[in-house]
């Protein structure tokens, strides 16, 4: 297959590309990324001679159309996005530009070039949040969209764009809404690598007051396998949830970091929450299991501990990135300013 992977120099995109070329050595893979602060060529360093890298903006329809035509691309997998909830509080316009208008620009390029499949990567966060005291509450593919933050709303907007391109122009799309990913190469602004890299340096770990808030966790490579299965056998026009059912609170993530690295709990400092901090997400992923036979393979707690050890072993990868992080997490005021 001839694939264009956007956002390929980010966390999940680079894990996806590595997984793809290892399993499909005959594929022609074009990795496209704008290289924002979150994009990093080093994430693809071991793959450079097996892929073609293009630095471009997904919103630049003419340029992307040219890439699609030049490389005779069969399928697009779109990971490109602004992805950090905290940055979205400080610069919401950037998120709507990239995640809504950028997605539209990419869909338009795919439509013009006549690609055979457009797979869009989305999140559980488009549905809003669930209460903490109702274990039966869960999001299905039919749940209404009810995003509560600029990041979530921009991802929801992107999903609507992709569906509109399918319904109106016949673009052959599929969508995945996935749970919280962990794994190597995640920018050290997100909670697991943030806590891990701070703990490795014996720095305070800023834990939000609502540390019972919980997320469903999945390894990025299990997410990658789900997308490949959907590219092979998924039904055009359909959305598939990708999850594990394994939930861990912010406090439990913090405890895993401290116990894996043998660091004291005195490193933890409680800070005021980010406004709009969602309480809980949980996806019903029975559709992809039932229809395509997909199941996650990596046990969540083992995978998280391996990821923490990866950061301990790869200081040279993350240390230079810390200065590029646009938000310093030290708590928030109620009106959305860093405390
Ligand atoms: N991280 C998660 O837990 C999670 C969960 C579900 C869904 N997702 C979705 O998966 C995708 C990838 O997330 P991630 O965590 O790897 O994010 P990331 O921030 O690590 O990577 C995003 C990449 O997109 C690139 N990019 C940004 N704007 C671009 C543009 N205009 N044109 C081209 N490239 C651009 C960045 O340079 C970066 O390399 C996103 O769409 C995100 O919403 C993430």
- Its pTM stands at 0.97
Task: List the residue whose alpha carbon is closest to atom 22 of ligand 1.
Answer: 10
pLDDT more than 90, % of the chain: 89
Q: Assign domain 2-187+217-245+279-298 to a CATH class.
A: alpha beta
Give per-residue pLDDT as tens, 241-255: 999 999 999 999 999
With the most atoms of ligand 1 within 8 angstroms of its CB, the residue from 5, 10, 77, 304 to mutate is 10
User: What is the CA(83)–ligand 1 centre distance, in A?
Assistant: 5
* Sheet with 214-219, edge to edge strand ranges: 180-182, 214-219, 247-249
Per-residue pLDDT of the chain (339 residues; tens, 9 = 90+): 999 999 999 999 999 999 999 999 999 999 999 999 999 999 999 999 999 999 999 999 999 999 999 999 999 999 999 999 999 999 999 999 999 999 999 999 999 999 999 999 999 999 999 989 888 899 999 999 999 999 999 999 999 999 999 999 999 999 999 999 999 999 999 999 999 999 999 999 999 888 888 999 999 999 999 999 999 999 999 999 999 999 999 999 999 999 999 999 999 999 988 777 888 999 999 999 999 999 999 999 999 999 999 999 999 999 999 989 888 777 777 777 777
Nearest 10 degrees: CA dihedral of 307, 310, 316, 319? 30
Domain ranges of the chain: 2-187+217-245+279-298
Atom number of ligand 1 nearest to Cα 14: 16
Q: Which residues, 6 or more positions from 276, have their beta carbon under 8 angstroms from its beta carbon? A: 89, 148, 149
Measured CA distances, 188 to 76, 148, 308, 322, 323 (Å) = 27, 24, 12, 7, 10
Atom number of ligand 1 nearest to Cα 36: 37
Give per-residue pLDDT as tens, 198-244: 999 999 999 988 888 899 999 999 999 999 999 999 999 999 999 99
Mean pLDDT of the chain: 96
């Amino acid at each position: 297959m001839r694939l264009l992977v956007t956002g390929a120099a980010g966390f999940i995109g680079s894990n996806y590309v590595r997984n793809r070329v290892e399993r499909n050595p005959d594929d022609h893979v074009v990795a496209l990324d704008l290289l924002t602060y979150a994009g990093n060529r080093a994430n693809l360093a071991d793959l450079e001679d097996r892929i073609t890298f293009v630095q471009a903006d997904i919103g630049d329809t003419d340029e992307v159309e040219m890439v699609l035509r030049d490389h005779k691309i069969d399928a697009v997998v779109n990971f490109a996005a602004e992805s950090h909830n905290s940055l979205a509080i400080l610069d919401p316009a950037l998120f709507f530009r990239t995640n809504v208008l950028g997605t539209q620009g990419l869909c338009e390029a795919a439509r013009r070039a006549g690609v055979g499949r457009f797979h869009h990567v989305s999140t559980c966060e488009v549905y809003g949040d669930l209460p903490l005291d109702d274990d039966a509450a869960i999001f299905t593919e039919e749940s209404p969209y009810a995003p509560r933050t600029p990041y979530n709303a921009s991802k929801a907007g992107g999903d609507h764009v992709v569906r509109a391109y399918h319904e109106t122009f016949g673009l052959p799309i599929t969508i995945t809404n996935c749970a919280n990913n962990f794994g190597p190469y995640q920018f050290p602004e997100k909670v697991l690598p943030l806590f891990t890299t701070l703990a490795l340096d014996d720095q305070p770990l800023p834990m939000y007051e609502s540390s019972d808030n919980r997320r469903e966790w999945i390894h990025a490579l299990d997410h990658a396998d789900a997308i490949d299965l959907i590219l092979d056998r998924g039904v055009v026009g359909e959305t598939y949830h990708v999850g594990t059912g394994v939930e861990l609170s912010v406090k439990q993530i913090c405890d895993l970091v401290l116990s894996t690295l043998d660091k004291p709990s005195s490193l933890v400092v409680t800070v005021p929450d980010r406004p709009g901090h969602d309480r809980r997400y949980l996806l019903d992923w029975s559709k992809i299991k039932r229809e395509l036979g997909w199941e996650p393979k990596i046990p969540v707690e083992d995978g998280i501990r391996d990821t923490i050890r990866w950061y301990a072993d790869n200081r040279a990868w993350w240390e230079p990135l810390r200065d590029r992080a646009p938000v310093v997490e030290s708590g928030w005021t109620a009106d959305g300013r860093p405390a």
